């Protein structure tokens, strides 16, 4: 039955991991479908509603939904810091403005705003939860320079904002960025957008060519200040969710198969042992005239039967765990629906793999037993020959105690078995290292990003590009110790047949707060001309130093130029592209112009600063670095924790299983020997030492190997990951090795203690009655 | 020496009302049904009796391998039946040497190392070489058990049992698996230890001829003593033949 459990463990991990991943995708897609999440998105300055007809005529477009999307400063009780709101218009519930139902929000509480009441709003649930806001409450907002008191009538979620990420911010920060839905008329009035829109979403026919649609849409919108349409892939929330799922997949595709492999290995060992102990029976059966084949077949059937029980159990438990974990993630992503889907393929694969593993394990052992003539088989196996071996050469035999000698000789006699046990234990170390390494990687990534690359305390975003006077104004604000200007322009980058959307960040050459870094984290001075790409962007464009990239800037006069790539820099997060600000200003054919500023703040005066910033009409928003840091860590940890928890748990279980298994085998083989020692007056502790000492040696031997394997595994996973939002750096801290090793040692000790209790329970007399 | 009366010696073991019942209910087996016996210090006792009469059970209780259902066993004035498992381990370690029909050597250790195993944890042991010499195995010390004949293995077992100079040497059919020549060599070794170190020895055998080497012969029948006789004409093991 131990075999069945081992198989069940391996199979259930695989089924759980793959089941969860598949289900999450199905669930997400169902949610998208249900809420009619759009396929193509575009933002623009302002266009008349009549333009919709032209858009709708684009080949492949199914539905067109126009909206008004604007930013507002929100004032939430108890928060000094600026809070940015994204105001989004809701279509009228009926009549002419009813819309086509794309990007429908899903009401969790309350109701939709009354079209006749201009101050009623619906808040996004994560934001409302972060501030404890509920329907019936109020929130103050500065909308287009006017302070308004808004009544919260509902709480909703939307597939468009599974993660709500503010402009210029990396990670969702539900405290400082929230979505506010309100009536279209109310918004149109505030921003002077009657019979106009500044945001459009499309859904496409199944066979539509997305790239072509985007191209056409851009052409239609460019006279109206369009800054480039993009597909779901570039939709920030979707990209983020996809990124998280990609991470889970990276973990899930590497670790579970290892579990299965280790399970198969354990199985193999156990089965060979069992068959070996049955050799007398096998001899007897053959003596009675059964053929080799029928004897072998009998045992094979037995093994497969047990294995099948294991597979069935594994599938059941895996499916159950998978469902639970999917549910946790569904809550986490706030999907309003849950579809649990089990991949039949995974089921079948895991099952076949296990049955094969046990079959192969059994066949080898059965062959070895069946091949013997009955007369030989019925006798116990020939005594094992030990050798004095190398130990002798150093006179070690004289210096070591006899029990220690027993340990070493036994290990030396069965090097293959010892090796396999070591391998098994080291695999569990490896799994732990490769799982825990993610935390190191994320810490490293954050350290690079926040402490080397982006050292500002706050980032100010202007509502629209300003001249340098705006910077002088900012510098004059209380608590501003330093302010560095930046210019950001949305752009399309073309290289060869590759195409990417990006924002080109124009930084000053002497910037000290926000810097571009090279591989060794040394700041790189931006060259006076040309484009600087992050490694990720360079890879996506298939460009390298010296490549010429066609740049289509999407603001102002929308210049299109070809620029050389003058440097490649290392960035783990996102895929940025940089230019010297002067060069960018030149390309834009504008004077010294900035989109915002990076600030270094005197924290004693931050309250006054925040207050002043909130009241500056030119300022669209402020994001704080410390907040970004904490939310980054929190978001990453939350996603990974759930899966990693299981992997760490199972990693520990493997260590336990391997050690326990080999301890049991040793015990059954050497029980007589150990009992003899007890008869001779050895205490339980001394006898345990012989058995557990052996395991301790194997465990300790396994630790360094495990660490090495762990790094290899981690590299494998990193190589498997392909995420655009961030690259996972290959960094493993010593503490991670220490933690993995400690966990494995603990697991070994637990199994050792269990086996020790069996030694304590030896029946000494019965051992002595039997022959060896 | 042979004629010294046993009563004059101090008592090594004093056994009173010893009973042992295996199992419960229907399947109960009374292995010992109230055995009273004194074994004097330094004597060589041979235990005889039909199969299943309780000899091994008796010897195992004396050696601290098993506990009785009733009665007491006093060793050098101490009641060993009152000892817990740790106490029994200590008792075996300090006072008892065992030899069994199946030699129970450690296969991964050489002859010398098998003996060292015991001398390492004893207080005033012989050197392993000395012990092996006593049983006539000086030239086989670095062989592993699998490389020794049955008789040689049994002599290693005897060497291992006597190396710590135990107070008592308990042997359960030590010659059971051996031919007469090797059996005699083993018996000689036991006799030697008994004589040289004054070790109290008890030997179970099915071979009545061996009884002649004993100071005292105890015969078991159906869990009780049927006869205890003092052997006044003890002979050397070399003179035994079967
Ligand atoms: N562990 C046990 N459980 C149940 N009954 C037992 C056990 N050990 C011994 N017996 C029974 O106790 C009785 C005495 O056994 P014991 O081994 O002492 O006999 P013995 O005189 O040594 O026999 P032999 O000469 O065959 O070795 C036997 O009837 C035996 O069946
Ligand atoms: Mg017996």
Cα A765 to chain centroid, rounded: 58
> How many domains in chain B?
1
Residues A583/A530, Cβ–Cβ less than 8 Å: yes
Domain presence at residue B242: no
At a CB cut-off of 8 Å and minimum separation 6, what does A540 contact? A498, A500, A575, A724
The DSSP call for residue A721 is -
Of A66, A46, A47, the C-alpha closest to A56 is A66
N residues, chain B: 242
Q: What is the mean pLDDT of residues B59-83?
A: 88
Residues B171/B99, Cβ–Cβ less than 8 Å: yes
Which residues of chain A, if any, have pLDDT below 70?
1-3, 93-99, 168-170, 267, 276-277, 369, 375-399, 722-725, 767-772
Report H helices in A447-590: 468-476, 535-541, 581-587
Q: Do A388 and B142 touch (CB under 8 A)?
A: yes
Domain presence at residue B113: yes
At a CB cut-off of 8 Å and minimum separation 6, what does A161 contact? A124, A179, A237
Q: Which two tokens stand for residue A678?
A: 């007890």
CA atoms of A722 and A278, how far apart (whole Å):
51
Of A583, A594, A754, the C-alpha closest to A664 is A754
Residues B51/B27, Cβ–Cβ less than 8 Å: no
CA atoms of A675 and A764, how far apart (whole Å):
6
- Please state, as a whole number, how many other Cβ atoms lie within 10 Å of the Cβ of residue A48: 11
Looking up tokens 């999407």 gives: A554
The pLDDT tens digits of the residues spanning B115-165 come to 888 888 878 788 888 888 887 888 888 888 888 888 888 889 988 988 888
CA atoms of A461 and A362, how far apart (whole Å):
68
Specify the pLDDT at position A44. 92
Ordered DSSP codes for A169-232: -SS--TTTEEEEEEEHHHHHHHHT-TTEEEEEEEEE-TT--HHHHHHHHHHHHGGGT----EEG
Chain A contact for B140 (CB, 8 A cutoff):
no
Q: Do A409 and B109 touch (CB under 8 A)?
A: yes
Specify the pLDDT at position B6. 43
Of A574, A619, A569, the C-alpha closest to A599 is A619
Across the interface, of A403, A410, A764, the residue whose CB is closest to B65 is A764
Could you give the angle at the alpha carbon of B15 between the alpha carbons of B13 and B16, nearest 5°?
Answer: 155
Residues A661/A653, Cβ–Cβ less than 8 Å: no
CA distance to partner chain B, nearest, from residue A717 (Å): 44
CA atoms of A421 and A410, how far apart (whole Å):
14
| Residue A574 backbone dihedrals phi, psi, to 5 degrees | 55, -170
Sheet (strand A61-67) strand order: A61-67, A196-204, A40-48, A230-231
Domain presence at residue B117: yes
pTM for the complete prediction?
0.76
Range of B21's domain? 11-234
Specify the pLDDT at position A582. 92
The pLDDT tens digits of the residues spanning A369-392 come to 677 777 666 655 555 666 665 555
Which long-range contacts (C-beta less than 8 Å, at least 24 apart) are formed by A660-664?
A660/A751, A660/A754, A660/A755, A661/A2, A661/A6, A661/A266, A661/A269, A661/A270, A662/A269, A662/A417, A662/A421, A662/A695, A662/A698, A663/A691, A663/A692, A663/A695, A663/A751, A663/A752, A663/A755, A664/A755
For residue B220, how far is its CA from the centre of ligand 2 (angstroms)? 11
Q: How confident is the model at residue B3 (pLDDT cuts 50, 70, 90)?
A: very low
Which residue lies with its CA nearest to atom 6 of ligand 1? B22
At a CB cut-off of 8 Å and minimum separation 6, what does A683 contact? B86, B89, B93
In terms of Cβ atoms closer than 10 Å to its own Cβ (0-12, 13-18, 19+), residue A33 is exposed
Which residue lies with its CA nearest to atom 29 of ligand 1? B52
B52 in contact with ligand 1, CB cutoff 6 A: yes
Domain presence at residue B182: yes
CA atoms of B225 and B33, how far apart (whole Å):
9
At A712 the three-state DSSP class reads helix
Domain presence at residue B180: yes
The ligand minimizing its distance to the Cα of B223 is: 1
- Please state, as a whole number, how many other Cβ atoms lie within 10 Å of the Cβ of residue A390: 10
In terms of Cβ atoms closer than 10 Å to its own Cβ (0-12, 13-18, 19+), residue B153 is buried
Largest CA distance in chain B: 54
Of all residues in chain A, the one with the smallest CA distance to B144 is A386
Which long-range contacts (C-beta less than 8 Å, at least 24 apart) are formed by A390-395?
none
Across the interface, of A402, A409, A771, the residue whose CB is closest to B117 is A402
Q: Would strands A498-507 and A480-495 be described as parallel, antiparallel, or unpaired?
A: antiparallel
Residues A202/A209, Cβ–Cβ less than 8 Å: no
The pLDDT tens digits of the residues spanning B20-31 come to 988 887 888 888
Which residue lies with its CA nearest to atom 19 of ligand 1? B52
CA atoms of B198 and B168, how far apart (whole Å):
9
Of all residues in chain B, the one with the smallest CA distance to A403 is B117
Domain presence at residue B5: no
CATH of the domain at B85: 3.40.50.300
Specify the pLDDT at position A563. 93
Q: Do A413 and B117 touch (CB under 8 A)?
A: no
For residue B51, how far is its CA from the centre of ligand 2 (angstroms)? 7
Residues A120/A114, Cβ–Cβ less than 8 Å: yes
CA atoms of A761 and A514, how far apart (whole Å):
68
Candidates B21, B31, B35: which one to mutate for ligand 1, based on the most atoms within 8 Å of Cβ?
B31
pLDDT at residue B7 is higher than 50 = no
pLDDT at residue B56 is higher than 70 = yes
Across the interface, of A386, A401, A680, the residue whose CB is closest to B108 is A386
The pLDDT tens digits of the residues spanning A213-243 come to 999 999 999 899 888 899 998 888 898 888 8
At A152 the three-state DSSP class reads strand
Residues B223/B33, Cβ–Cβ less than 8 Å: yes
Residues B132/B67, Cβ–Cβ less than 8 Å: no
CA atoms of A325 and A317, how far apart (whole Å):
12
| Closest atom of ligand 1 to CA, residue B223 | 14
The pLDDT tens digits of the residues spanning B180-238 come to 888 888 888 888 888 888 889 999 988 888 888 888 899 988 888 888 888 777 777 77
For residue B169, how far is its CA from the centre of ligand 1 (angstroms)? 21
Specify the pLDDT at position A500. 86
Specify the pLDDT at position B1. 41
In terms of Cβ atoms closer than 10 Å to its own Cβ (0-12, 13-18, 19+), residue A195 is exposed
CA atoms of A169 and A519, how far apart (whole Å):
23
Half-sphere exposure of A162 toward its Cβ, with a 13 Å CA cutoff?
Answer: 26
Specify the pLDDT at position A31. 92
């Amino acid at each position: 039955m131990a075999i069945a459990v081992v198989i069940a463990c391996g199979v259930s991990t695989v089924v759980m991991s793959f089941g969860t991943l598949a289900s999450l995708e199905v669930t997400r897609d169902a949610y998208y479908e249900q809420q009619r999440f759009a396929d193509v998105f575009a933002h623009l300055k302002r266009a008349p509603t009549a333009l919709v007809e032209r858009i709708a005529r684009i080949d492949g477009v199914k539905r067109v939904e126009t909206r008004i999307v604007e930013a507002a400063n929100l004032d939430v009780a108890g928060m000094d810091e600026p809070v940015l709101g994204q105001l989004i218009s809701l279509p009228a519930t009926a009549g002419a403005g009813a819309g086509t139902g794309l990007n429908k929000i899903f009401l969790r509480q309350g109701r939709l705003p009354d079209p006749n009441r201009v101050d009623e709003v619906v808040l996004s649930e994560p934001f409302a939860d972060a501030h404890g806001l509920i329907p019936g409450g109020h929130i103050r907002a500065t909308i287009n320079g006017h302070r308004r008191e808004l009544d919260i009538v509902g709480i909703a979620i939307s597939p468009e904002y599974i993660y709500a990420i503010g402009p210029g911010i990396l990670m969702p920060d539900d405290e400082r960025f929230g979505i506010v839905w309100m009536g279209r008329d109310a918004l149109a009035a505030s921003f002077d957008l009657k019979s106009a829109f500044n945001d459009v979403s499309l859904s496409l026919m199944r066979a539509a060519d997305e790239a072509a649609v985007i191209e056409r849409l851009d052409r239609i919108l460019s006279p109206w200040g369009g800054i480039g349409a993009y597909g779901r892939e570039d939709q920030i929330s979707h990209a983020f969710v996809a990124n998280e799922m990609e991470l889970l997949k990276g973990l899930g595709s590497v670790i579970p198969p290892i579990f299965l492999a280790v399970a198969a290995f354990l199985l193999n060992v156990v089965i060979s042992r069992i068959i070996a102990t049955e050799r007398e029976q096998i001899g007897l059966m053959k003596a009675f005239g059964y053929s080799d084949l029928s004897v072998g077949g009998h045992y094979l059937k037995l093994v497969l039967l047990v294995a099948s029980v294991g597979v069935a159990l594994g599938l059941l438990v895996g499916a159950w765990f998978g469902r639970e974990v999917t549910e946790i993630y569904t809550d986490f992503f706030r999907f309003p629906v849950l579809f649990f889907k089990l991949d039949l393929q995974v089921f079948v694969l895991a099952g076949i793999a296990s049955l094969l593993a046990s079959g192969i394990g059994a066949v080898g052992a059965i062959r070895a037993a069946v091949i013997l003539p009955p007369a030989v088989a019925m006798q116990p196996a020939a005594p094992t020959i030990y050798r004095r071996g190398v130990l002798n050469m150093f006179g070690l035999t004289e210096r070591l105690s006899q029990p220690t000698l027993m340990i070493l000789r036994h290990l030396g006699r069965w090097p293959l078995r010892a090796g396999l046990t070591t391998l098994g234990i080291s695999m569990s170390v490896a799994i732990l290292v490769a799982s825990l390494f993610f935390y190191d990687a994320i810490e490293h990534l954050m350290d690079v990003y926040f402490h080397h690359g982006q050292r500002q305390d706050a980032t100010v975003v202007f509502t629209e590009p300003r001249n340098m006077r705006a910077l002088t104004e900012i510098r004059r604000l209380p608590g501003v110790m330093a302010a560095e200007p930046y210019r950001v322009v949305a752009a399309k980058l073309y290289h060869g047949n590759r195409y990417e959307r990006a924002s080109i960040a124009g930084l000053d050459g002497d910037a000290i707060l926000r810097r571009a870094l090279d591989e060794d984290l040394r700041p790189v001075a931006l060259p006076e001309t040309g484009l600087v790409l992050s490694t990720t962007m360079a890879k996506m464009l298939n460009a390298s130093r010296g490549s010429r990239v066609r740049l289509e800037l999407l603001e102002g006069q929308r210049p299109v130029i070809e620029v050389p790539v003058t440097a490649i820099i290392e960035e783990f997060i996102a895929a940025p592209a940089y230019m010297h600000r002067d060069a960018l200003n030149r390309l834009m054919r504008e004077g010294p112009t900035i989109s915002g500023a990076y600030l270094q703040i005197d924290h004693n005066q931050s309250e006054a600063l925040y207050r002043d910033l909130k009241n500056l009409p030119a300022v669209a928003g402020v994001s704080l670095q410390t907040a970004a840091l904490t939310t980054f860590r929190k978001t990453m940890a939350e996603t990974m924790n759930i899966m990693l928890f299981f992997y760490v748990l199972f990693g520990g279980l493997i260590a336990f299983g391997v050690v326990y298994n080999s301890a049991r085998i040793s015990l059954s083989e050497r029980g007589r020997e150990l009992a003899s020692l007890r008869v001779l007056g050895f205490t339980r502790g001394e006898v345990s030492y012989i058995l557990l000492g052996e395991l301790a040696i194997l465990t300790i031997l396994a630790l360094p190997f495990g660490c090495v394997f762990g790094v290899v595994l981690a590299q494998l996973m990193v190589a498997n990951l392909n995420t655009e939002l961030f690259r996972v750096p290959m960094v493993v801290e010593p503490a991670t090795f220490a933690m993995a090793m400690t966990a494995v040692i603990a697991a070994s000790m637990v199994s050792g203690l269990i086996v020790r209790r069996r030694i304590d329970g030896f029946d000494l007399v019965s051992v002595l009655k039997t022959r060896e | 020496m042979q004629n010294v009366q046993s009563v004059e010696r101090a008592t090594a073991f004093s056994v009173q009302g010893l009973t042992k019942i295996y199992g419960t209910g229907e399947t109960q087996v009374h292995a010992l049904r109230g055995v009273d016996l004194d074994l004097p210090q330094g004597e060589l006792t041979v235990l005889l009796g039909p199969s299943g009469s309780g000899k091994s059970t008796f010897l195992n209780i004396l050696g601290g391998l098993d506990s009785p259902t009733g009665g007491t066993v006093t060793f050098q004035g101490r009641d060993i039946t009152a000892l817990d498992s740790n106490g029994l381990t200590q008792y075996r370690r300090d006072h008892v040497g065992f030899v069994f029909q199946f030699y129970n050597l450690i296969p991964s250790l050489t002859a010398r190392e098998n003996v060292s195993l015991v001398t390492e944890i004893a207080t005033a042991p012989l050197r392993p070489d000395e012990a092996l010499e006593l049983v006539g195995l000086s030239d086989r010390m670095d062989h592993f058990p699998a490389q020794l004949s049955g008789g040689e293995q049994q002599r290693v077992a005897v060497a291992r049992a006597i190396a710590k100079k135990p107070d008592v040497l308990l042997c359960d059919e030590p010659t059971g698996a051996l031919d007469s020549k090797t059996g005699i060599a083993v018996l000689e070794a036991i006799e030697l230890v008994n004589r040289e170190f004054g070790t109290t020895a008890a030997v179970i055998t099915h071979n009545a001829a061996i009884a002649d080497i004993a100071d005292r012969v105890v015969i078991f029948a159906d869990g009780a003593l049927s006869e205890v006789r003092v052997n006044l004409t003890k002979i050397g093991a070399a003179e035994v033949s079967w």
